[in-house]
Structure 1
Amino acid sequence: MKSLIWIGFLSFVCIPLCFAQGPKTIALFDGKTFHGWEGDTLHTWRIENGMLMGGSLETTVPHNNFLCTKKIYSNFILKLKIKLTGDQGFINSGVQFRSQRLKDPAYEMIGYQADFGKDYWASLYDESRRNKTLVKPNDQEVLTWIKINDWNDYEIKAINHQIRLYINGHMSVDYTETDASIPQSGFIGIQIHGGGKAQVAVKDIRIQELP
């Protein structure tokens, strides 16, 4: 009898908790393959030691290049670790989201970018559309948050028309889109910017899709 009462109690407690957990967080990169991703995996993008890597420290990256998800995402919380290295030319990377591939040039993307690089650390840029930084943190303050040439925790929260960016636990951007014509869904992509001998590494990419 006691065991039946105990089982009933556990059911009473556990079932509501299970339903209250909300959307699951899943890995976008399995650490071994390009499953779920597309891009120039012959020349620009590669996998090394469980990391997605793009660009080169030996030769100048000729133009912007993106490794892009095959799935479209709308509302989500995206978390990843990113490291950008290089010291010649324009050293820059970023994470595209709610974005699309362009047809001309085909290597470019259009949409929001969580920017990452000198003078653009943890800023929100509008790639190939308005072509401007929408919001950026204080230049001096953000440098106290960033780990140059090392791993940084980047988080993107895109919920309806609100976008928030966090770098190493610090909120760098809080932006609300007021232009109703701007798409609020699209692909996620990792960028290596053209014009520099630069290399970006990304790992531990996880996403929680939201309603």
Structure 2
Amino acid sequence: MKRLMCAISCMAVAAMAASCVSNPNKKAAADSTATAQTADVEEGFVAIFDGKTFDGWRGYNRTDVPSAWTIEDGCIKINESGMGEAGAKDGGDIIFANKKFKNFELAFDWKVDKGANSGVFYLAQEIPNQPIYISAPEYQVLDNENHPDAKLGVDGNRQSASLYDMIPAKPQNSKPFGEWNTAKILVYDGTVAHFQNGTQVVEYHLWTPKWKEMLDNSKFSKDKWPEAYELLLNCGGENHEGYIGLQDHGNNVWFRNIRVKEL
């Protein structure tokens, strides 16, 4: 726990570091970000996005990166299509395809445009002709003030950092659109925790009766979506491991400082 809290502190430092938008102190901010990232590396984190290329990344169920995704000022950006989820002519979700992860901490920063929606998937499987979320839990990324999804679901369980449509993030401490948030997802032997801006906001346990109960009460229930229900019930497949993915929901969203520590 001590090492985990240290890593969270490093993440908070990164949140106050360089912005991906132009400013007169850009070089100094970049230096601060590099310092924070170095601290994370010392804690065992490895960057899975180099800030310059899509090395290691590709589209879900495809061999290339959809052109709706670009790299902008050291960030992975999904660009506004105005056509809804994966609606761009060459859009769709992306995954880090070099490795499936089992027990890990995933840390990243994110910010959204006004009214924007996205998500981060983990333990994802590639299922032909099916969307990524049929097999993967989702850390919600959202402008809570301006996107209608924030008011749907139950008790805020579609707001940022929530386990989408199942567990609301509490306390809800996201920052407004246009500002950077820090995030972390911890997965260890079925125990999962979501962190937002340095605070743990979600905890749950995969492959348990409670997990089944949550699925039964969600949009992924056996009655509503049997294919998703069976895959999510044994999330991560036979080896309880899977890909990390980023969602194209048709809005401007930025991700940076994406790094993983295997446990």
TM-score tier by shorter-chain length is 0.7 to 0.9
Trace 1:22-171 onto structure 2 (pairs within 5 A): 24-39=44-59, 41-56=65-80, 59-63=82-86, 65-70=92-97, 71-87=99-115, 91-105=116-130, 110-117=135-142, 118=144, 119=150, 120-125=159-164, 133-138=165-170, 141-142=171-172, 145-149=173-177, 150-171=179-200
5+ residue gaps, structure 2, are 1-40, 145-149, 151-158, 213-232
Between Structure 1 and Structure 2, the one with more strand by share is 1
- CA 1:41–1:86 in structure 2 vs 1: closer, same or farther (change >3 Å)? farther
Decide whether the 8 Å contact of 2:105 with 2:186 is kept in 1.
Answer: yes
Shift in Å, 1:59: 2.9
Decide whether the 8 Å contact of 1:55 with 1:61 is kept in 2.
Answer: no
Shift in Å, 1:102: 2.8
Instruction: Find the counterpart in structure 1 of residue 249 from structure 2.
Output: 193
Measured against aligned partners, the alpha-carbon deviations of 1:27-57 in whole angstroms (never above 9, x if no partner) come to: 010011111110163421111111000131x
For residues 164 and 203 of structure 1, the distance between their equivalents in structure 2, rounded to whole angstroms, comes to: 20
Kindly indicate whether structure 1 or structure 2 has the higher relative contact order, using CA contacts under 8 Å at least 6 residues apart. 1
* Matched length: 172
Q: % of aligned pairs identical?
A: 28
- Structure whose CA Rg is larger: 1
- CA 1:23–1:108 in structure 2 vs 1: closer, same or farther (change >3 Å)? same
Moved over 6 A (4+): none
Q: What is the SS of the residue equivalent to 1:192? A: coil
Q: Which amino acid aligns with 1:73?
A: F
Measured against aligned partners, the alpha-carbon deviations of 1:135-184 in whole angstroms (never above 9, x if no partner) come to: 1124xx41xx1111111001000011100000001111010111573323
Q: Which amino acid aligns with 2:73?
A: N
Instruction: Find the counterpart in structure 1 of residue 12 from structure 2.
Output: none
Decide whether the 8 Å contact of 2:141 with 2:161 is kept in 1.
Answer: yes
Decide whether the 8 Å contact of 1:85 with 1:199 is kept in 2.
Answer: yes
Instruction: Please tell me the root mean square deviation across aligned C-alpha atoms, in Å.
Output: 2.4
Shift in Å, 1:107: 6.9
For residues 61 and 51 of structure 1, the distance between their equivalents in structure 2, rounded to whole angstroms, comes to: 22
